[in-house]
């Protein structure tokens, strides 16, 4: 029998707000634990929540960017549970009336365009951060109550590759949209992954296994692959899959049972009595729509159509917003998009990964790269010398023109110097000269190499070739 997997994702994204969702406490990653807290986010009895308007705006903009309908009326609910990461013993969330409904995302999965659908996006508050040390658990409430939204996909994916492509696209859109930095190492983007397996042709989905709270894309991929294999093997051997919550152990590369799945009614959802429902007028939604930025997919089309870049380049440049913005800044100082793109995809990415830093920290600024490209385009330096200048600036800083002058890197196009080297190469190498004259055009390359060597790489190759041809064809 053939089996197929079905995957749905619940992606939690921490929004870029200055203060928490229902109180005025600041959110600051890495701050001294339990210093950004107040009676509201510590759950003191009688403390009243106040809604963060900016968070609502960001959640709705995220919805618009993902093609959702904005719900004109949404409301708040309490999700009750007992755990130290939520001091008031319930989380304020949205159960039956979320801010955003529907939505879809079309992404490239290994060369095939696929559309994945989104069920809803709701606004909620984050839990505190627990750290488990030997013999104790520590709780940092700085994160408790920060603005968190949950993007719930439909169970519409069928492989780890689908899930990865979807999450990568969501992350890009959130970053471009200014919704969230989605810094996974800081826990700003975490996903719960639902995986089930059923025989091909069966209508209803198989028992759902949820793998909770993962932030690494690589681990998510491994966990999905492991889970599909595990469930398929169980079914093939005549067993059944239990509906449960599992964790993923990256060291062993396997998932393990955490708890049998609680149902929604275990949380005893009920309307939050301390907050008014959210009503959003149509004009407000249109105002937000008009403020939406250009998305990576739109930038890719523009790079190809207006700047004439290959699709591949456009994809690499827009994969990350910082790189794409950097590229756009460079394009304010030059018209040669392909040269800028080549430098970013080549020298820049190589050096950044070698030194493990980000493009915004590079000594080579967009303006400096445009300066290097201008020197190459003016034939002042060769492309090879341009790469050297790039690396010098990357490592030690400096100005392209000044470096070329100080180090004598300018190409020699001066006829008398070139002529001297050409004559010498012809006089010293009678054999290739003879071969060339006998009708073997490739032999000129050897002579060319001799001239470049004599000039220590500074001769302008085009001018050398022309000079040699003139002399030999005479
Ligand atoms: Zn607070």
For ligand 1, the distance from its centroid to the CA atom of residue 42, given in whole angstroms, is 7
Distance CA 286, CA 406 (A): 57
pLDDT of residue 264: 63
Q: What is the mean pLDDT of residues 267-290?
A: 96
Query: How high is the pLDDT of residue 17?
Result: 97
Domains of the chain by range and CATH?
3-286 (no CATH), 294-406 (no CATH), 415-473 (1.10.10.410)
pLDDT tens figures, 390-418 = 999 999 999 999 999 998 888 877 778 88
Mapping DSSP to helix (H, G, I), strand (E, B) and coil, where does residue 157 land?
A: strand
427 Cβ contact partners less than 8 Å away, ≥ 6 residues apart: none
β-strand pairing of 189-199 with 3-14: antiparallel
Measured in angstroms, how far is the CA atom of residue 454 from the centroid of ligand 1? 72
CA of 158 to the centre of ligand 1 (A): 41
Give the pLDDT confidence score for residue 169 in this predicted structure.
Answer: 94
Query: pLDDT band at residue 237, thresholds of 50, 70 and 90?
Result: very high
pLDDT of residue 466 exceeding 90: no
- How much distance in Å is there from the Cα of 22 to the middle of ligand 1? 7
What's the gap in Å between 56 CA and the centre of ligand 1? 18
* Tens-digit pLDDT profile for residues 162-196: 999 999 999 999 999 999 999 999 999 999 999 99
Summarize pLDDT for 34-52 with one digit per residue, the tens. Answer: 999 999 999 999 999 999 9
Q: What integer is the mean pLDDT of 413-427? A: 85
How many whole angstroms separate alpha carbon 75 and alpha carbon 97?
6
65 Cα–ligand 1 center, Å: 30
Using an 8 Å Cβ cutoff, are 429 and 447 in contact? yes
Q: State the pLDDT at residue 261.
A: 58
CB atoms within 10 A of CB 273: 7
Scan for tokens 């030059």, then name that residue: 334
pTM of the model: 0.78
Query: Ligand 1: distance of its center to the CA of 353 in Å?
Result: 39
Cα of 47 from ligand 1 centre, angstroms: 10
Strands 112-125 and 100-101: antiparallel
Centre of ligand 1 to C-alpha 150, Å, is: 21
Q: How remote is the CA of residue 189 from the centroid of ligand 1, in Å? A: 21
- pLDDT, one tens digit per residue, over 318-337 is 988 899 999 999 999 999 99
The pLDDT of residue 141 is: 97
Ligand 1 centroid to residue 193 C-alpha, Å:
30
Q: Cα of 17 to ligand 1 centre, how many Å?
A: 13
Crossing angle of helices 444-454 and 415-428, rounded to 10°: 120
Question: Between residues 440 and 368, which one has the greater pLDDT?
Answer: 368
188 CA distance to ligand 1 middle (Å)? 19
CA atoms within 13 A on the CB side of 411: 22
467: pLDDT strictly greater than 90? no
Q: Report the distance separating Cα 420 and Cα 414, nearest Å.
A: 10
């Amino acid at each position: 029998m053939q089996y197929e997997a079905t995957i749905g994702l619940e992606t939690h994204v921490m929004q870029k707000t200055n203060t928490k969702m229902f109180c005025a406490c600041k959110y600051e990653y890495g701050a001294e634990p339990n210093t950004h807290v107040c009676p509201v986010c510590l759950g003191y009895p009688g403390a009243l929540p106040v809604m963060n308007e900016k968070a609502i705006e960001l959640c709705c903009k995220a919805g618009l960017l993902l093609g959702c309908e904005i719900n004109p009326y949404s409301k708040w609910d309490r999700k009750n549970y007992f755990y130290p990461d939520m001091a008031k013993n319930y989380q304020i969330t949205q159960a039956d009336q979320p801010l955003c409904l529907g939505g879809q995302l079309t992404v490239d999965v290994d060369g095939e365009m696929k559309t994945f659908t989104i069920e809803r996006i709701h606004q909620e508050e984050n839990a505190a951060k627990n750290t488990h040390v030997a013999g104790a658990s520590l709780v940092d409430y700085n994160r408790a109550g920060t603005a968190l939204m949950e993007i719930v996909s439909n169970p519409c994916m069928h492989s780890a590759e689908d899930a990865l492509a979807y999450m990568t696209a969501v992350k890009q859109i959130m970053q471009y949209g200014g919704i969230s930095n989605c810094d996974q190492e800081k826990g700003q983007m975490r996903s719960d992954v639902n995986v089930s397996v059923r025989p091909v042709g069966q209508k209803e989905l198989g028992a759902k296994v949820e793998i909770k709270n993962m932030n690494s894309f690589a681990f998510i991929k491994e966990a999905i692959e492991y889970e599909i294999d595990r469930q398929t093997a169980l079914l093939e051997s005549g067993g059944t899959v239990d509906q449960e919550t599992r964790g993923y152990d990256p060291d062993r590369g396997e998932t393990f049972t955490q708890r049998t799945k609680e149902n929604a009614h275990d949380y005893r959802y009920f309307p939050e009595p301390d907050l008014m429902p959210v009503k959003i007028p149509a004009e407000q939604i249109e105002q937000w729509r008009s403020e939406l930025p250009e998305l990576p997919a739109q930038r890719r089309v523009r790079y190809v159509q207006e700047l004439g870049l290959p699709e591949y380049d456009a994809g690499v440049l827009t994969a990350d917003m910082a790189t794409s913005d950097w590229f756009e800044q460079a394009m304010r100082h030059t018209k040669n998009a392909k040269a800028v793109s080549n430098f970013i995809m080549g020298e820049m990415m190589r050096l950044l990964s070698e030194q493990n830093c980000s493009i915004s920290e590079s000594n080579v600024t967009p303006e400096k790269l445009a300066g290097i490209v201008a020197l190459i385009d003016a034939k002042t330096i060769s492309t090879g010398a341009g790469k050297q200048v790039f690396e010098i600036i990357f490592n030690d800083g400096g100005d392209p023109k000044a470096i070329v002058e100080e180090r004598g890197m300018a190409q020699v196009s001066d006829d008398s110097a070139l002529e001297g080297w050409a004559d010498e190469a012809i006089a010293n190498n009678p054999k290739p000269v003879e071969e060339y004259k006998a009708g073997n055009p490739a032999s000129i390359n050897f002579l060319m190499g001799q001239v470049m060597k004599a000039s220590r790489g500074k001769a302008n190759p085009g001018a050398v070739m022309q000079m040699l041809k003139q002399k030999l064809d005479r």
